[in-house]
Amino acid sequence: MARCIFHIDLDAFFVSVEQVLNPKLKGKPVIVGGDPERRGVVASASYEARPFGIHAGMPLSKARRFCPQAILIRANFSRYKDASSKFMKILGHFSPYIEPLGLDEAYLDVTGYEEPYGSPRQLARAIKEKIYEELELTASVGIGTSKVVAKIASDLCKPDGVLEIAPGGEQAFLNPLPVAKLPGVGNKTEQSLKEMGITTIGDLASLPLDMVKRRFGATGAVIHSYARGIDDREVEAPGEAKSISQQLTFGRDTLNRNFLEANLHNLCQEVCQELRSQNKRAKCVAIRLRYADFKTITRQAILKEASDITQVVFTTAQQLLSKAITKQEKPIRLIGIRISSLVGEEKQFPMFDSGTEKSEHLDKAIDRIRRKYGSSAIKTGNGIFTESS
Ligand code: TTP
Ligand code: MG
């Protein structure tokens, strides 16, 4: 099932908060900024001020020249922080999967939460209504199957808009847009791309991946996949990762079962090592497969009991893989693992089962050796296959 991700951003945030407190400012060109005597800049401009060319980051002296009648207000951060925490609280009522970004924007993963509202668009309207009812602020909501699409969509429907990009419509939506709309494409990258004759997202998507990687390194791979509407990033609160994931793109697409399992085992080892280093256990295991045609599927299972044992996670992942590949016979280009529903270290029941204990000892020994000599220093039984085997 495709994910349903919202990017929600308040309109002219600092200015709008000031307008709520002083309604006389509504409908007028208003700027919130620093001290004009100390070379302050514009932090937020009302939509009435924007046609004069005023935007965030512009020196106030210049903004005054562009629009002398604009009303200038000094920033009152405590007011904005207060409004921001109320805003985030409202969003949290609609889905627990919330990732705040700064004061006035957040991602929300609403997959499945839209159902009672009838559609994602109706859920977006309900959220906007609630925000207006409680805070008198308007927001814009971008809806997509990934963060990158949702974020670009919200930017394009400002102010007070909702823009939904339906699953499958990502590429057609992105193609005509300027490359600078992509997160990760700053002025420098935009300029370099222009020198290569690339101005739209569609132009970038059509370049061979190798070429983009050679020119821009790791960032190149990221912006190239964003340009194709591919963005696997989860919605999660920063600093408290709710999941651990790893994935691997193969040099050549494959259907070789042993090769897939060996790589899946290595990925399980990596995520479980990270899990153990955080003294946590996971209850949910998911695999992700991307086929040669870029179709991506996710399959997940809940463990009977939370675990940090590589073999337990791998066995579940292996079963998910088996089920997925009996149904699909298309070559696979990427395999990934994600463990989530992480819980703390304390074990609810003492485990005397000797098999489990053995696996725990083995994991600890492997972690020690890998920490000391690197992850290629040791391969367990499932890691010995090569693609030709
Ligand atoms: P933005 O969401 O970028 O801007 P905005 O809410 O004012 O306008 P928009 O309708 O386009 O979303 O930033 C949110 C707040 O962050 C903004 O109101 C003021 C503050 N801010 C700064 O202080 N400095 C800056 O350079 C920017 C971009 C924002
Ligand atoms: Mg905003």
For residue 345 the two structure tokens come to 């270290």
- Select the more confidently predicted residue: 370 or 312: 312
Q: Is 105 a catalytic residue?
A: yes
Which of 187-201, 317-331, 335-349 is most confident? 187-201
Quick: pLDDT tens for 347-378. Answer: 444 444 556 666 777 777 777 776 666 665 55
259 HSE (CA, 13 A, CB side): 18
| pLDDT higher than 80, residue 213 | yes
Cα–Cα distance measured from residue 175 to residue 178, given in angstroms and rounded to the nearest whole number: 8
| Nearest alpha carbon to residue 230 among 153, 164, 171 | 171
Alpha-carbon Rg for the chain, nearest whole angstrom, is: 25
How remote is the CA of residue 239 from the centroid of ligand 1, in Å?
23
Probe target for ligand 1 pocket from 73, 104, 128, with the most ligand atoms within 8 Å of CB: 104
Quick: pLDDT tens for 144-155. Answer: 999 999 999 999
Predicted TM-score (pTM) of this structure? 0.71
Per-chain mean pLDDT for the chain: 89
Any ligand 1 atom below 6 A from CB of 286:
no
CATH superfamily of 243-383: DNA polymerase, Y-family, little finger domain (3.30.1490.100)
Secondary structure letter of residue 256 according to DSSP: -
User: What CATH topology corresponds to 9-163?
Assistant: MutS, DNA mismatch repair protein, domain I (3.40.1170)
How remote is the CA of residue 322 from the centroid of ligand 1, in Å?
48
Domain segments of the chain as ranges: 9-163, 171-227, 243-383
Which one is catalytic: 18, 99, 105, 270? 105
How remote is the CA of residue 338 from the centroid of ligand 2, in Å?
32
CB atoms within 10 A of CB 17: 24
Exposure string over 160-190, b if 16+ CB within 10 A, otherwise e: ebbbbbeeeebbebbbebebebbeebeeebe
Query: Which stretch of 84-98, 164-178, 369-383 has the lowest confidence by average pLDDT?
Result: 369-383
Any ligand 1 atom below 6 A from CB of 10:
yes
Any ligand 1 atom below 6 A from CB of 56:
yes
Identical fold between 9-163 and 243-383: no
User: What CATH topology corresponds to 171-227?
Assistant: DNA polymerase; domain 1 (1.10.150)
